[in-house]
Structure 1
């Protein structure tokens, strides 16, 4: 009897290991990066949170005329998270409209707008120093033209579309494109 129990446990472990390996294998290579979450020491393993899921990646800023889009992004997150959509915001000072520090940015995102979707630490999103994720997005659909450019990515890591700052996150073009990917 103990031998069967050991074999059963080993088989369970191997199945679990195989599932973990499959999840990592389905991560798009350009998403194999680790960041920190906004104003936190908590790691953000992009591969682990995005593998096999449709994504909406957004460059954000705290003091911009489009900052109110945090509400629409949160609405998308709440509407589609149980169907697999992952929304990640990437604060940046690419257009000189960022908060003075990550503490202020976190307050604006989490307290003022009630953001519960993932937010990374502040990164560069354009130019020679752009984070590799945004270098890839730029190669596929162009670099952000302003704050709140929204990049829609399918489950396989293909960049499907880029929506510029004036496209509302809850607009029909965005929601219908998201629903096609779910």
Structure 2
């Protein structure tokens, strides 16, 4: 292979590499059946991804997540709850999680099935967060905000309330 051929191959790969800058078109299994595709959610606007657990001390944040969805959803924000038992605080089945959230929080935000968020068996989205951005949930209700391009805008630890000014300012900056 000549140097000219090698340079031409590299130039041909540049657009492909540029497209790979955002997250992979991650797919989650939906707690209601079917799948949730992050690339489709991002077409609407920014996405706040939150790993959740029903039996956690931060579980009352479900009210704040629903409030964000109610307030900013019509303008394009998606709030995605990702139930996880990685910290041993989730109910045993998806049905129990869905019923718990509907009964106690009247939750209508999109929700995945119970999903691994850390370690070798983590969902590809969470592996991407760890590998590409050094973001690994340290506990339940860790929040990650993605823009429409799929770039990580910010992440917040569990104690930061979803309706805090720190988070809503970042969301509002991304909305039309």
Does the TM-score normalized on the shorter chain lie above 0.5?
Answer: yes
Superposed CA offset, 1:23-80 (max 9, x none): xxx9985341333211x32332332222362110000001000000000000000000
1:102 has 2:94 as partner: yes
Report the counterpart of residue 171 of structure 2 in structure 1: 178
TM-score scaled by length of structure 1 = 0.80
What are the residue-to-residue correspondences of 1:62-141 with 2, within 5 Å? 62-139=54-131, 140-141=133-134
- How many residues are matched? 156
1:161 has 2:150 as partner: no
**Conserved in 2, the CA contact under 8 Å of 1:34 and 1:46?**
yes
**Conserved in 1, the CA contact under 8 Å of 2:42 and 2:147?**
no
Superposed CA offset, 1:123-157 (max 9, x none): 10000111011112223142000000000111111
CA RMSD of aligned residues (A): 1.8
**Conserved in 1, the CA contact under 8 Å of 2:22 and 2:149?**
no
Name structure 1 gaps, 5 residues minimum: 1-25
TM-score scaled by length of structure 2 = 0.82
**Structure 2 counterpart of 1:44, from 12, 36, 39:** 36
Do the aligned partners of residues 27 and 55 (structure 1) sit closer, same or farther apart at CA in structure 2, a change above 3 Å counting? farther
CA distance in 2, matches of 1:169, 1:52: 20
